[in-house]
Amino acid sequence: MKAPNYIKVDPPEGYTSPGIFATSFDKVVGLARKNSIWPLPFATSCCGIEFMATMGAHYDLGRFGAERLSFSPRQADLLMVMGTIAKKMAPVVQQVYIQMAEPRWVIAVGACAASGGIFDTYSVLQGIDRIVPVDVYVPGCPPRPEQIIDGFIKVQELVGKESLRRRYSKEYKDLLESYGIK
Amino acid sequence: MDNDFITGKLKTRFIDDILLVDESSDMLTVVVPGKVIHEVIRFLKENESLGFTFLTTLCGIHYPDQELQLGVVYHLHCFSSNTHIRIKTFLPLENPLISTISDLFSAANWMERETYDFFGIIFEGHPNLKRILNVEYLDYFPMRKEYPLEDPTREDKDDSFFGR
Protein backbone atom coordinates (compact mmCIF):
# COMPACT_ATOMS: atom_id res chain seq x y z
CA MET A 1 0.00 0.00 0.00
CA LYS A 2 1.38 3.42 -0.90
CA ALA A 3 2.53 5.67 1.93
CA PRO A 4 0.09 8.51 2.61
CA ASN A 5 1.10 11.84 1.12
CA TYR A 6 0.30 13.81 4.23
CA ILE A 7 1.65 13.92 7.75
CA LYS A 8 -0.74 14.15 10.63
CA VAL A 9 0.25 16.95 13.00
CA ASP A 10 0.38 15.73 16.58
CA PRO A 11 -1.89 17.57 18.97
CA PRO A 12 -0.22 19.29 21.94
CA GLU A 13 -0.40 17.74 25.38
CA GLY A 14 -3.72 18.16 27.02
CA TYR A 15 -6.77 16.53 28.47
CA THR A 16 -9.13 14.79 26.08
CA SER A 17 -12.72 13.97 26.60
CA PRO A 18 -15.49 13.31 24.08
CA GLY A 19 -16.03 16.65 22.38
CA ILE A 20 -13.49 18.42 24.58
CA PHE A 21 -9.79 18.99 24.33
CA ALA A 22 -8.19 21.10 27.06
CA THR A 23 -4.65 22.34 26.75
CA SER A 24 -2.69 25.43 27.53
CA PHE A 25 -3.49 28.48 25.44
CA ASP A 26 -0.02 29.20 24.17
CA LYS A 27 0.35 25.66 22.87
CA VAL A 28 -2.76 26.02 20.73
CA VAL A 29 -1.85 29.50 19.57
CA GLY A 30 1.68 28.30 18.82
CA LEU A 31 0.32 25.40 16.80
CA ALA A 32 -1.97 27.67 14.82
CA ARG A 33 0.70 30.29 14.22
CA LYS A 34 3.43 27.95 13.16
CA ASN A 35 1.34 26.23 10.52
CA SER A 36 0.15 29.47 8.95
CA ILE A 37 3.18 31.72 8.72
CA TRP A 38 2.80 34.41 6.07
CA PRO A 39 6.28 35.26 4.85
CA LEU A 40 7.49 38.51 3.32
CA PRO A 41 10.04 37.52 0.69
CA PHE A 42 12.64 40.28 0.74
CA ALA A 43 14.44 38.71 -2.19
CA THR A 44 17.38 40.75 -3.43
CA SER A 45 19.70 38.50 -5.44
CA CYS A 46 20.50 34.87 -6.21
CA CYS A 47 18.98 33.54 -3.00
CA GLY A 48 15.75 35.09 -4.19
CA ILE A 49 15.85 32.85 -7.23
CA GLU A 50 16.34 29.83 -4.99
CA PHE A 51 13.34 31.00 -3.01
CA MET A 52 11.32 31.17 -6.21
CA ALA A 53 12.24 27.52 -6.76
CA THR A 54 11.27 26.75 -3.17
CA MET A 55 7.85 28.28 -3.68
CA GLY A 56 7.35 26.35 -6.91
CA ALA A 57 5.49 23.08 -7.11
CA HIS A 58 8.52 20.81 -6.84
CA TYR A 59 9.80 21.96 -3.44
CA ASP A 60 6.58 23.67 -2.39
CA LEU A 61 6.90 25.87 0.66
CA GLY A 62 3.11 26.10 0.59
CA ARG A 63 2.94 22.67 2.24
CA PHE A 64 4.09 24.29 5.48
CA GLY A 65 1.42 26.94 5.52
CA ALA A 66 3.38 29.62 3.72
CA GLU A 67 1.22 29.62 0.63
CA ARG A 68 0.16 33.23 0.99
CA LEU A 69 3.13 35.51 0.53
CA SER A 70 2.76 39.08 1.58
CA PHE A 71 4.74 41.93 0.12
CA SER A 72 3.22 44.30 2.59
CA PRO A 73 5.02 44.19 5.94
CA ARG A 74 1.81 45.07 7.75
CA GLN A 75 0.33 41.67 6.90
CA ALA A 76 3.42 39.49 7.19
CA ASP A 77 4.72 37.34 10.03
CA LEU A 78 8.14 36.33 8.80
CA LEU A 79 10.66 38.61 7.07
CA MET A 80 12.76 36.41 4.81
CA VAL A 81 15.81 38.40 3.75
CA MET A 82 17.29 36.58 0.79
CA GLY A 83 20.22 38.14 -0.94
CA THR A 84 22.89 40.81 -0.67
CA ILE A 85 21.88 43.91 1.25
CA ALA A 86 23.93 46.99 0.36
CA LYS A 87 24.59 49.65 2.97
CA LYS A 88 22.29 51.95 1.05
CA MET A 89 19.48 49.39 1.38
CA ALA A 90 20.00 48.84 5.10
CA PRO A 91 17.67 51.61 6.37
CA VAL A 92 14.99 50.28 4.03
CA VAL A 93 15.22 46.77 5.51
CA GLN A 94 15.01 48.26 8.97
CA GLN A 95 11.94 50.28 8.03
CA VAL A 96 10.25 47.19 6.60
CA TYR A 97 10.98 45.35 9.85
CA ILE A 98 9.61 48.24 11.92
CA GLN A 99 6.40 48.22 9.92
CA MET A 100 5.74 44.57 10.68
CA ALA A 101 3.23 43.83 13.40
CA GLU A 102 4.12 41.67 16.38
CA PRO A 103 4.74 38.74 16.53
CA ARG A 104 7.37 38.86 13.83
CA TRP A 105 10.35 36.71 13.00
CA VAL A 106 13.32 37.21 10.69
CA ILE A 107 15.16 34.57 8.72
CA ALA A 108 18.44 35.43 6.99
CA VAL A 109 18.76 33.22 3.93
CA GLY A 110 22.14 32.84 2.34
CA ALA A 111 25.65 33.96 3.13
CA CYS A 112 25.16 37.58 2.10
CA ALA A 113 22.22 38.19 4.42
CA ALA A 114 23.91 36.33 7.27
CA SER A 115 27.35 37.93 7.10
CA GLY A 116 27.92 39.86 3.90
CA GLY A 117 28.98 36.62 2.24
CA ILE A 118 31.66 36.76 -0.39
CA PHE A 119 31.23 40.54 -0.74
CA ASP A 120 33.73 41.82 1.81
CA THR A 121 33.55 45.34 0.46
CA TYR A 122 32.78 48.99 1.23
CA SER A 123 29.25 48.89 -0.10
CA VAL A 124 27.79 45.64 1.29
CA LEU A 125 26.26 45.39 4.75
CA GLN A 126 28.16 42.67 6.56
CA GLY A 127 25.11 40.79 7.77
CA ILE A 128 21.56 41.97 8.41
CA ASP A 129 21.95 41.23 12.10
CA ARG A 130 23.65 44.61 12.24
CA ILE A 131 20.27 46.25 11.66
CA VAL A 132 17.48 43.81 12.62
CA PRO A 133 17.32 40.96 15.15
CA VAL A 134 17.53 37.65 13.29
CA ASP A 135 15.98 34.38 14.46
CA VAL A 136 17.29 31.82 11.99
CA TYR A 137 20.27 31.90 9.65
CA VAL A 138 20.33 29.65 6.61
CA PRO A 139 23.88 29.21 5.33
CA GLY A 140 24.60 28.61 1.68
CA CYS A 141 25.54 30.45 -1.45
CA PRO A 142 22.82 29.98 -2.44
CA PRO A 143 21.24 27.41 -0.14
CA ARG A 144 19.33 24.69 -1.92
CA PRO A 145 15.54 24.77 -1.57
CA GLU A 146 15.82 21.89 0.88
CA GLN A 147 17.98 24.08 3.11
CA ILE A 148 15.57 26.98 2.89
CA ILE A 149 12.76 24.63 3.90
CA ASP A 150 14.94 23.37 6.76
CA GLY A 151 15.39 26.95 7.97
CA PHE A 152 11.67 27.53 7.66
CA ILE A 153 10.98 24.44 9.77
CA LYS A 154 13.34 25.80 12.43
CA VAL A 155 11.35 29.05 12.40
CA GLN A 156 8.20 26.95 12.81
CA GLU A 157 9.73 25.31 15.88
CA LEU A 158 10.53 28.73 17.34
CA VAL A 159 7.02 29.99 16.60
CA GLY A 160 5.37 26.94 18.15
CA LYS A 161 7.32 27.18 21.38
CA GLU A 162 7.20 30.95 21.87
CA SER A 163 5.62 32.28 25.01
CA LEU A 164 2.67 34.63 24.44
CA ARG A 165 4.22 37.21 26.74
CA ARG A 166 7.62 37.30 25.08
CA ARG A 167 6.94 40.41 23.02
CA TYR A 168 6.05 42.42 26.13
CA SER A 169 9.06 41.31 28.12
CA LYS A 170 11.93 43.57 29.09
CA GLU A 171 14.49 41.40 27.31
CA TYR A 172 12.68 41.84 24.00
CA LYS A 173 12.38 45.58 24.50
CA ASP A 174 16.08 45.79 25.29
CA LEU A 175 16.84 43.74 22.19
CA LEU A 176 14.95 46.20 20.00
CA GLU A 177 16.61 49.13 21.79
CA SER A 178 20.00 47.72 20.93
CA TYR A 179 19.09 47.95 17.26
CA GLY A 180 17.75 51.45 17.58
CA ILE A 181 14.18 50.30 16.97
CA LYS A 182 11.55 51.82 19.22
CA MET B 1 35.00 58.90 -41.63
CA ASP B 2 38.53 57.72 -41.08
CA ASN B 3 40.98 58.51 -38.32
CA ASP B 4 43.11 60.90 -40.35
CA PHE B 5 40.12 63.05 -41.20
CA ILE B 6 39.12 63.35 -37.56
CA THR B 7 42.68 63.95 -36.39
CA GLY B 8 43.16 66.55 -39.09
CA LYS B 9 40.04 68.44 -38.12
CA LEU B 10 40.97 68.34 -34.44
CA LYS B 11 44.52 69.47 -35.01
CA THR B 12 43.42 72.35 -37.23
CA ARG B 13 41.05 73.61 -34.57
CA PHE B 14 43.04 72.81 -31.43
CA ILE B 15 46.62 73.22 -32.55
CA ASP B 16 48.55 72.67 -29.34
CA ASP B 17 45.95 70.92 -27.28
CA ILE B 18 45.97 67.50 -28.90
CA LEU B 19 48.57 65.94 -26.67
CA LEU B 20 48.53 62.42 -28.01
CA VAL B 21 46.83 60.53 -30.81
CA ASP B 22 46.75 56.78 -30.45
CA GLU B 23 45.43 54.59 -33.25
CA SER B 24 46.70 51.28 -31.93
CA SER B 25 43.46 50.08 -30.36
CA ASP B 26 40.06 49.46 -31.89
CA MET B 27 39.13 53.14 -31.91
CA LEU B 28 40.88 56.46 -32.28
CA THR B 29 42.10 57.73 -28.91
CA VAL B 30 42.91 61.39 -28.32
CA VAL B 31 44.42 62.81 -25.14
CA VAL B 32 43.64 66.45 -24.39
CA PRO B 33 44.31 68.66 -21.36
CA GLY B 34 41.46 69.04 -18.91
CA LYS B 35 40.88 72.76 -19.46
CA VAL B 36 39.79 72.40 -23.11
CA ILE B 37 37.61 69.32 -22.76
CA HIS B 38 34.33 71.20 -23.10
CA GLU B 39 35.42 72.87 -26.37
CA VAL B 40 36.77 69.62 -27.78
CA ILE B 41 33.61 67.66 -27.09
CA ARG B 42 31.43 70.53 -28.29
CA PHE B 43 33.43 70.72 -31.51
CA LEU B 44 33.11 66.99 -32.06
CA LYS B 45 29.37 67.15 -31.44
CA GLU B 46 28.41 70.28 -33.37
CA ASN B 47 30.71 70.24 -36.36
CA GLU B 48 28.62 68.98 -39.27
CA SER B 49 31.31 66.92 -40.88
CA LEU B 50 32.14 65.15 -37.61
CA GLY B 51 28.79 64.85 -35.85
CA PHE B 52 29.62 62.77 -32.75
CA THR B 53 26.21 63.26 -31.27
CA PHE B 54 26.10 60.31 -28.87
CA LEU B 55 27.98 60.03 -25.60
CA THR B 56 28.46 56.31 -25.12
CA THR B 57 30.09 56.53 -21.74
CA LEU B 58 32.10 58.67 -19.38
CA CYS B 59 34.14 57.27 -16.55
CA GLY B 60 37.11 57.90 -14.33
CA ILE B 61 40.35 56.05 -13.78
CA HIS B 62 43.19 56.36 -11.30
CA TYR B 63 46.75 55.56 -12.32
CA PRO B 64 48.86 56.07 -9.18
CA ASP B 65 52.13 55.83 -11.10
CA GLN B 66 51.52 58.77 -13.41
CA GLU B 67 52.18 62.39 -12.68
CA LEU B 68 48.58 63.37 -13.48
CA GLN B 69 46.93 60.50 -11.68
CA LEU B 70 43.20 60.86 -12.15
CA GLY B 71 41.79 60.47 -15.62
CA VAL B 72 38.41 60.93 -17.23
CA VAL B 73 37.64 58.91 -20.34
CA TYR B 74 34.87 59.84 -22.76
CA HIS B 75 33.58 57.60 -25.53
CA LEU B 76 31.68 59.37 -28.29
CA HIS B 77 29.87 57.82 -31.23
CA CYS B 78 28.72 59.10 -34.59
CA PHE B 79 25.62 57.24 -35.74
CA SER B 80 25.69 58.34 -39.37
CA SER B 81 29.16 57.02 -40.06
CA ASN B 82 29.29 54.38 -37.28
CA THR B 83 32.51 55.76 -35.82
CA HIS B 84 33.71 55.63 -32.25
CA ILE B 85 36.22 57.95 -30.66
CA ARG B 86 37.82 57.92 -27.22
CA ILE B 87 38.90 61.13 -25.51
CA LYS B 88 41.06 61.03 -22.42
CA THR B 89 42.03 63.77 -20.01
CA PHE B 90 44.26 63.54 -16.98
CA LEU B 91 43.96 65.64 -13.86
CA PRO B 92 46.20 66.14 -10.82
CA LEU B 93 45.25 64.23 -7.69
CA GLU B 94 45.30 67.31 -5.43
CA ASN B 95 42.96 69.36 -7.59
CA PRO B 96 40.82 67.23 -9.91
CA LEU B 97 38.64 69.91 -11.46
CA ILE B 98 37.15 69.58 -14.89
CA SER B 99 34.30 71.20 -16.74
CA THR B 100 31.04 69.34 -16.94
CA ILE B 101 29.59 68.26 -20.28
CA SER B 102 26.07 67.75 -18.93
CA ASP B 103 24.96 70.84 -20.88
CA LEU B 104 25.97 69.09 -24.12
CA PHE B 105 24.83 65.58 -23.26
CA SER B 106 22.14 64.92 -20.65
CA ALA B 107 23.46 61.40 -20.12
CA ALA B 108 26.62 62.92 -18.66
CA ASN B 109 24.67 64.05 -15.59
CA TRP B 110 24.37 60.58 -14.07
CA MET B 111 27.78 59.44 -15.24
CA GLU B 112 29.60 62.46 -13.83
CA ARG B 113 27.90 61.92 -10.47
CA GLU B 114 29.09 58.32 -10.51
CA THR B 115 32.64 59.42 -11.39
CA TYR B 116 32.57 61.91 -8.53
CA ASP B 117 31.25 59.26 -6.17
CA PHE B 118 34.05 56.79 -6.91
CA PHE B 119 37.05 58.99 -7.79
CA GLY B 120 36.37 62.39 -6.30
CA ILE B 121 36.68 64.24 -9.60
CA ILE B 122 34.85 67.58 -9.33
CA PHE B 123 32.82 68.55 -12.39
CA GLU B 124 32.42 72.33 -12.41
CA GLY B 125 29.01 73.49 -13.52
CA HIS B 126 27.27 70.22 -12.72
CA PRO B 127 23.74 70.90 -11.44
CA ASN B 128 23.75 68.32 -8.64
CA LEU B 129 27.17 66.89 -7.88
CA LYS B 130 26.70 64.52 -4.97
CA ARG B 131 27.06 60.84 -4.29
CA ILE B 132 24.78 58.65 -6.31
CA LEU B 133 25.54 54.98 -5.71
CA ASN B 134 27.29 54.93 -2.35
CA VAL B 135 25.84 55.90 1.02
CA GLU B 136 25.98 59.65 1.75
CA TYR B 137 28.13 59.28 4.85
CA LEU B 138 30.97 57.51 3.02
CA ASP B 139 33.93 59.78 3.57
CA TYR B 140 36.38 58.47 0.98
CA PHE B 141 36.42 57.71 -2.74
CA PRO B 142 36.41 53.93 -3.09
CA MET B 143 37.85 53.42 -6.57
CA ARG B 144 41.02 55.39 -5.92
CA LYS B 145 44.02 53.14 -5.60
CA GLU B 146 45.13 54.68 -2.31
CA TYR B 147 44.18 51.73 -0.14
CA PRO B 148 45.67 48.26 0.07
CA LEU B 149 43.44 45.56 -1.35
CA GLU B 150 42.11 44.73 2.10
CA ASP B 151 41.19 48.05 3.64
CA PRO B 152 42.50 48.08 7.22
CA THR B 153 40.51 51.19 8.19
CA ARG B 154 37.11 49.56 7.82
CA GLU B 155 35.24 49.16 11.06
CA ASP B 156 32.44 46.96 9.89
CA LYS B 157 34.41 43.81 9.10
CA ASP B 158 34.05 40.94 11.50
CA ASP B 159 37.41 39.18 11.75
CA SER B 160 35.91 36.16 13.47
CA PHE B 161 34.32 35.13 10.19
CA PHE B 162 37.62 35.12 8.40
CA GLY B 163 39.70 33.15 10.84
CA ARG B 164 41.97 36.01 11.85
pLDDT at residue B99 greater than cutoff 90: yes
Which residue type, as a one-letter code, is found at position B131?
A: R
Residue in A87, A123, A126 nearest the CB of B157: A126
Residue B164 pLDDT > 60, yes or no? Answer: no
Predicted-complex ipTM score: 0.78
pLDDT tens figures, B10-44: 988 988 888 888 888 888 999 999 999 999 999 99
pLDDT at B113: 95
**Which residues, 6+ apart, have CB-to-CB distance to A121 below 8 Å?**
none
β-strand B70-78 against B83-91: which pairing, if any?
A: antiparallel
Q: Is A96 a domain residue?
A: yes
B134 and A88 within 8 Å at the Cβ level: the answer is yes
A83: left (phi over 0), alpha (psi -120 to 50) or beta: left
Number of domains in chain A: 1
Q: Structural domain of residue A116, as residue ranges?
A: 36-178
Least confident of B15-19, B58-62, B114-118: B15-19
Q: How far is A95 from chain B (nearest CA, A)?
A: 17
Task: Output the tens digit of pLDDT for each of chain A's 182 residues.
Answer: 788 888 777 778 889 899 998 999 989 899 899 999 999 999 999 999 999 999 999 999 998 989 999 999 999 999 999 999 999 999 999 999 999 998 999 999 999 999 888 888 888 898 998 999 999 999 999 999 999 999 999 999 999 999 999 999 999 999 999 998 87
In a domain, A88, yes or no: yes
Q: What is the DSSP letter of B115?
A: H
Residue A63 and residue A57 in contact, taking contact as beta carbons nearer than 8 Å = no
What sign does the CA torsion over A19, A25, A28, A32 have? positive
Provide the whole-model pTM. 0.85
pLDDT of res. B17? 81
**According to the model, what pLDDT value does residue A84 have?**
94
pLDDT at B26: 86
Q: Using one digit for the tens of pLDDT, what is the confidence trace for B83-96?
A: 999 999 999 999 99
Which residues of chain A have a CB within 8 Å of the CB of B156? Answer: 125-126, 130
DSSP per residue, A114-168: HH-TT--STTB-S-GGGTS--SEEE--SSPPHHHHHHHHHHHHHHHHH--TTGGG
Q: Could you say which of A120, A123, A125 has the minimum Cβ distance to residue B134? A: A123
Question: CATH code at A168?
Answer: 3.40.50.12280
Q: Cα distance from A123 to chain B (closest Cα, Å)?
A: 7
CB contact under 8 A, B151 and A87: no
State the pLDDT at residue A118: 87
Determine, yes or no, domain membership for A18: no
- In this structure, which amino acid lies at residue A73? P
Distance CA B17, CA A2 (A): 85
Contacts for B67 with CB less than 8 Å, ≥ 6 apart = B92
**What's the pLDDT band for B152 if we cut at 50, 70, 90?**
low
CATH topology of domain B3-162: Beta Polymerase; domain 2 (3.30.460)
Residue A4 lies in a domain: no
Domain layout of chain B by residue ranges: 3-162
Q: Are B35 and B89 in contact (CB under 8 A)?
A: no
**Record: contact A126-B156, CB cut-off 8 A:** yes
pLDDT at B161: 62
User: Looking at CA atoms only, how far is residue B152 from chain A in angstroms?
Assistant: 11
The amino acid sitting at B79 is F
- Answer yes or no: is A115 within a domain: yes
Cis status, amide bond into A4, omega within 30 of 0:
no
Considering only CA atoms, which of B33, B40, B53, B35 is closest in space to residue B105? Answer: B53
